[in-house]
Structure 1
Amino acid sequence: MKKQRAFLKWAGGKYTLVEAISRVLPPGEKLIEPFVGAGSVFLNTDYPKYLLNDINPDLIHLYQTLKRRPKSFIEDARTLFSVQTNSASAFYSLRTQFNGSTDAYERSLLFLYLNRHGYNGLCRYNSSGGFNVPYGQYKKPYFPEQELEFFAEKAKRATFTCEPFQNSFRRARRGHVMYCDPPYLPLSVTANFTSYATQGFSLDEQALLAKKALHASRKRHIPVLISNHDTMQARWLYKAAQITELQVHRFISQNGATRNKVNELMAYFPAGNLAP
């Protein structure tokens, strides 16, 4: 099966890891992703149904809009990828328009534009909830038409929700499979990158996620796979899981020379896990 790229650029996206993730994920009736992000795992697996959740309402509204109105959305989005819209003045004007808009369709179009024209594909908001990623200065931003079409077609199998990750666990049933790609634990105190949604993702939430995964697997027979940085903290949180180690290139750093490989892990909690 040909690998499918997401139509969004996404810090921490799982495109390069989908083979490793797919090798661990068991078959099931439905794949549930509480932190769907750009959706690379969704796009590169083949479950009968999907429940795709994220706490970012702009992301989920975009997915719902693309599922509902694929043709008109793609045609309207195309108009935002032109020479006229690829300048600093146009970008900041459209960013202001996005931040002032309450129309879900307009925000979805502009969210795609900002993602492809903004710096490094970052998704970042200020304390007031305003999108504040700067202009990316790309010569000709790519319009992901084929990727949008593929996503829209596959989205027919998916339900999209925007709620806390705990709710996704409540929706899970025996026969379902869960893949969790939360905001990662920091590699160091100064490397904490949690501003992807307006609120960060605290250590308490990391611990709650691990607890939910263990409970789902042992008590409800729902297998759960979690990705995270390979740190002492992560090893402690996932001590009851089966650990797979990975090395991954990271692209968040502004300094290209420091974009080195970092250690990640996958923590797998199999259904009915009886590990001590």
Structure 2
Amino acid sequence: MSVNGTPLKWAGSKARIMDTLREHLPAGQRLVEPFAGSCSVMLNTDYAAYLVADINPDLINLYQVICEDTRGFLDTARLLFSTANTAEGYYHLRQSFNRDKSNRTQSAAMFLYLNRHGYNGLCRYNKQGIFNVPYGKYTSPYFPEQEIHFFAEKAKRATFLCCDFEETLALVCPDDVVYCDPPYYPASDTANFTQYHTQGFDKFDQYRLVTAAGKAARDGAQVVVSNSHIAHDVGLYAGFEVNHISAPRTISGNGNRGRVGEIIVKMGR
């Protein structure tokens, strides 16, 4: 089955393993995703309804704006993409984005611009909440108009919320299918890409997720979780069904983008 692209570039996107992931996602009426990411799972599955959440307000604002005013968003974003693709222009727009987010459509368009022009599709913030991804030096950043239209159509089945994963999992119904794709358990402290939000995602959060996901499963939901093989090695998902897969590496500090070990965990019936 072909894979539908997403409006955003995204570190850790599941687009590259969708064929494998679909084999582990059970049937159901609604898919609940507490970690929205690039929405590649929503865009490449066929549930009747979706509840998609994330703690990053910039990400959820983008998705909500696309749904509410697709044409207005496209016009605003297209204008930004037509400006000079220079480091100076990028950093000026990044400063504007961090300074004022009162205009939701403008803010969403700037977020898309920064995502497509910034380094490696990273989404990273410092502890003050400042988006700080450097300029990517790409010759011709792609404007994902077709992907935005496809997203807007598919998202008619979805509700988008900005909240912590525990809040999202508290909304799960017994017959829901839940898919969790958190920032991965790091192989080391220096390989810790978890600053998708000001608060980051540490080892305590990993254990919070196991607890909350396990409760949702005990309450009747079917829960699937992705993580690094390190999470299994440290016993994070002991007692649950753990499936090992190989996935393409999307970020590497040393230029090595080979395959890495990941796990797909199943909880519930």
TM over 0.5: yes
Match of 1:269 in 2: 267
Distance 2:3 2:157 in 1: 18
Kept in 2, the 8 Å contact 1:181–1:227? The answer is yes
Q: Deviations over 1:190-237 (max 9, x none)?
A: 21221121111121211121122222212x110100000002555612
Amino acid aligned to 2:237: Y
Amino acid aligned to 2:101: T
Match of 1:210 in 2: 210
- More moved, 153-162 vs 206-215: 206-215
The alpha-carbon deviation at position 255 of structure 1 amounts to 3.0
Kept in 1, the 8 Å contact 2:185–2:231? The answer is no
Distance 2:175 2:23 in 1: 18
The alpha-carbon deviation at position 138 of structure 1 amounts to 0.6
Amino acid aligned to 1:32: V
Gap runs ≥5 in structure 1: 272-276
Distance 2:202 2:251 in 1: 19
Distance 2:177 2:232 in 1: 25
Amino acid aligned to 2:230: T
Match of 2:91 in 1: 92
**Given the alignment of the two structures, is residue 15 of structure 1 paired with residue 10 of structure 2, yes or no?**
no
Match of 1:236 in 2: 235
Match of 1:41 in 2: 41
TM-score by length of 1: 0.93
Kept in 1, the 8 Å contact 2:11–2:250? The answer is yes
Amino acid aligned to 2:74: I
Q: Deviations over 1:47-95 (max 9, x none)?
A: 000000001000000000000001111122111112x331111111111
Give the direction of change, closer, same or farther, for the CA distance of 1:2–1:251 in structure 2 (3 Å limit): closer
The alpha-carbon deviation at position 254 of structure 1 amounts to 3.5
User: Aligned Cα RMSD in Å?
Assistant: 1.3
Distance 1:141 1:94 in 2: 15
Distance 2:29 2:233 in 1: 29
Match of 1:56 in 2: 56
The alpha-carbon deviation at position 176 of structure 1 amounts to 0.7
Distance 1:91 1:192 in 2: 25
Amino acid aligned to 1:214: G
- More moved, 118-127 vs 145-154: 118-127
Kept in 2, the 8 Å contact 1:240–1:269? The answer is no
Matches within 5 A, 1:143-222: 143-218=143-218, 220-222=219-221
Amino acid aligned to 2:25: L
Distance 1:68 1:262 in 2: 38
Match of 2:105 in 1: 105
- More moved, 196-205 vs 27-36: 196-205
User: Moved runs in structure 1, 4+ residues, more than 6 A?
Assistant: none
